[in-house]
Structure 1
Amino acid sequence: MAPSGVAGWSGPWRRFAVTFMATSVAGLVGVAALLFLIDPFDSGRSPVARPPGVPAPDVETSATSRLENASRGRDHAFQAAIIGNSRIQALEPENLSDATGIPFVSLVIQASRSREQLAVLDWFIRHREAPPKAIIIGLDMPWCDDRVSMSPTDPFPFWLYDRSRVAYLEGLLRYSVLAEYVPRYLGYLFGLRDRARPDGYWDYEPVYKKLGYDSPERRQKLQGPDAEVEVNLTGRFGAAEALAERLANLPPETTVFLVRPPVYVTGLGAAGSDQAKTDAACRAVHAALAAGRANTYLIDWRVDRPETRSPDGFIDHTHYRKSVARMIEAEIAAILKKVQAPGS
């Protein structure tokens, strides 16, 4: 029978309690130290220096860019980045690299909003030995929010991109990290798993095709309004203000592209609608962002133009195909080559 009262905690019971607590604390510290040493997401914090790289996901459709981009973002092989969500995902870094001679990496986070993308932007900038050559930021409608916001449905590991090592360690101390990600990363280190694509590009067209987005019924839906409509009539654009602060702190030699991704024409909103008013006000804010910093360009494809009237160029209202992406890449590359030209 266990002793009761404070006076009972003596002799064997006290020794047991002290031993148990000491063992538990030592075990926790040991696990934390091991995880820190292994650094299963290759954030570069481990005292054991390793070249950047993380294992490829088990299934192509289970992209884990939220975790993998910590490794890609610290990779000094890349001098330029594409940041945003799936609405800028179709831009292929290899094409931009070939066209400009600047190594690009895609740090896209599917289903992310401004808070997640700002965290990735900060991480990329923080891990450059020299000023970035270029940064492309996809400004879809979540960047028109009245405040900095994050996805309500897709949790993001802010701790992985945090400046604080304490926050990082707290994030590492999870059963899923120890049971799932550590074995995967060790398998990669020992050559048992392939490396994830270094430049981060992931082609979503085959995935959408398997889901039936090439069917006549899906194509017919393009002719109706976009079901995912976002409205902000407050006159406040907190997400854009937060981005303005980051842009102001970038070195002037970094070329910035603020890309308003295309939507199929029926997703623009009817004239005079709250959606159209939001879009117009937000466009003005984004234009002011570009005008307020030298070497910054607004690439606005969220307009009614021949390419956004062709259903062949779109999968749904907000996800476009390679044919459209190649034109956006060409526009960006032409500006970059002009900026880099001697005497420019």
Structure 2
Amino acid sequence: MKRYRAWTRRTLRASLAILALAALFNYAVDPLQQYRASTFYRTYYEKPRYLNPGLARTHAYDTAILGSSMMHNFIPSEIDKALGVKSIKLSMDAASAREISLLLRLVLRRPQTKNVIIGIDFPAFAGAPDRLRYGADTFPFHLYDDNRLNDYRYLLSIDTLQFSVRALEANWLGVRARKLDPDLYKYFGHNHAFGREVVLKKWRDANMFPEPPDYYALHNLARSFDVNLLAHIKAHPRVRFILLRPPVSLLMWKNAPKPVFRNALLFKEYIFNATRDLPNVELYDFQDAAEITANLDNYMDPGHYSPEINRFMVECIRTGRYRVTPENFHPRLAAFRRMVETWQIPED
């Protein structure tokens, strides 16, 4: 019995020592930048839902880029040069409005934040306002909150240990070194085929709006916008908010259920009316840019466009082209509706 107790004590002490060493290692490396921006190694960019809150807290920037994968091909260094800012990309795959809001809260807590560029991706605002893309059980809330008591979930996590190892491997051994470049964070312009044939095949093989039409009901869209974006915008009148409607292809809308397309148009009008009198908001809509959206060679699927289109949008932000105004909103909305209704799907 004594031997068993002694063995148990030794095992417990060894286990606690291993946990303490793991926590100390993870704290020192801090791969998700929760406590400090990395100094003895370059940040390893992966897993946006995990990394982005740390980047938002600890990295140097005055302009943040938020949204779904529609924002992935923006290159921060190009934005910096074109707009005279210091930007950081914080986009997430299939981000919901709630996830964007959680991240935006961290961005806006920094007094250095001057500009926020947000992609207004229609599906992001569908469903309940608190919807999370992969469900609540999969979202790392502990990385977004201010409760240090739950930091053990970060410091003692096997996932964090793996993040730490990958970050050091990339820096010291050159393994996956491409992920050390912030310009290439979630960038996909280099490893996907773009073109009409590719897009048409993906369109035929997929349902663009698989959810029931009431999932895209206007009251859901409006409520989500109010809670997740508009509240932040009104609470920070000194921050410039640049809202972008990404130029998804006309193919995206062509066979959309009529209630879904109607609500998409009504949602455009809702956002316009909600922000038209706010001096800190600039609204850009690229969905009626026919030179882009009608040319399927610009796309890798019905929604995602090439990096050249992101560069085009940056130039438009610089010059004001495609900015929505009280004078052009309704004519452009009507023209967009006609464009979708009359556009002919090209043959392969």
Do both share a fold (TM > 0.5)? yes
CA contact 1:53–1:71 (8 Å) conserved in 2: no
Matched, 1:133 2:114: yes
Matched, 1:41 2:32: yes
User: Which deviates further from its counterpart, 220-229 or 140-149?
Assistant: 220-229
Richer in helix (by share): 2
Larger Rg: 1
Alignment CA distance shift 1:30-1:260 (3 Å): same
Alignment CA distance shift 1:37-1:298 (3 Å): same
Q: For 1:170 and 1:137, how far apart are their aligned partners in 2?
A: 30
Structure 1 position 296, deviation (Å): 0.3
User: Which deviates further from its counterpart, 187-196 or 279-288?
Assistant: 187-196
In structure 2, the partner of 1:83 is 66
In structure 1, the partner of 2:343 is none
Q: For 2:77 and 2:83, how far apart are their aligned partners in 1?
A: 10
Q: For 2:278 and 2:50, how far apart are their aligned partners in 1?
A: 31
Structure 1 position 144, deviation (Å): 3.5
CA contact 2:70–2:246 (8 Å) conserved in 1: yes
In structure 2, the partner of 1:55 is 44
Amino acid at match of 1:227: N
In structure 2, the partner of 1:151 is 133
- Secondary structure (helix, strand or coil) at the match of 1:257 reads strand
CA contact 1:42–1:53 (8 Å) conserved in 2: no
Matched, 1:245 2:245: no
2:281 to 286, 296, 308: 296
Unaligned runs of 5+ in 1: 3-10, 57-62, 339-344
Structure 1 position 292, deviation (Å): 5.4
Task: Give the total of aligned pairs.
Answer: 312
Identical-pair percentage: 22
Deviation string for 1:75-121 (max 9, x for gaps)? Answer: 54321011112112233322221112112221111232223222322
CA contact 1:54–1:188 (8 Å) conserved in 2: no
In structure 2, the partner of 1:28 is 19
- Secondary structure (helix, strand or coil) at the match of 2:242 reads strand
Structure 1 position 30, deviation (Å): 4.8
Structure 1 position 333, deviation (Å): 1.7
Q: For 1:33 and 1:70, how far apart are their aligned partners in 2?
A: 21
Structure 1 position 247, deviation (Å): 1.6
Q: For 1:172 and 1:323, how far apart are their aligned partners in 2?
A: 40
Superposition pairs for residues 1-344 of structure 1, below 5 Å? 17=8, 20-21=11-12, 24-25=15-16, 27-45=18-36, 50=39, 53-55=42-44, 63-74=46-57, 76-126=59-109, 128-130=110-112, 132-140=113-121, 141-152=123-134, 155-178=138-161, 180-187=162-169, 194=177, 196-199=180-183, 201-209=185-193, 213-214=194-195, 217-221=197-201, 227-229=207-209, 231=213, 232-233=216-217, 235-237=219-221, 238-240=223-225, 241-250=227-236, 252-269=237-254, 273-291=258-276, 293-303=278-288, 305-335=290-320
- Secondary structure (helix, strand or coil) at the match of 2:229 reads helix
User: Which deviates further from its counterpart, 159-168 or 275-284?
Assistant: 159-168
CA contact 1:268–1:276 (8 Å) conserved in 2: yes
Unaligned runs of 5+ in 2: 324-348
The Cα RMSD (Å) is 3.5
Q: For 1:226 and 1:262, how far apart are their aligned partners in 2?
A: 19
Amino acid at match of 1:145: G
Amino acid at match of 2:189: E
Structure 1 position 135, deviation (Å): 0.7
Q: For 2:117 and 2:152, how far apart are their aligned partners in 1?
A: 31
Give the TM-score of the pair, scaled to structure 2: 0.75
Deviation string for 1:137-187 (max 9, x for gaps)? Answer: 111122233323222289443332332223332133222322x22223344
Structure 1 position 202, deviation (Å): 4.3
Q: For 1:38 and 1:201, how far apart are their aligned partners in 2?
A: 20
Give the TM-score of the pair, scaled to structure 1: 0.75
CA contact 1:104–1:199 (8 Å) conserved in 2: no
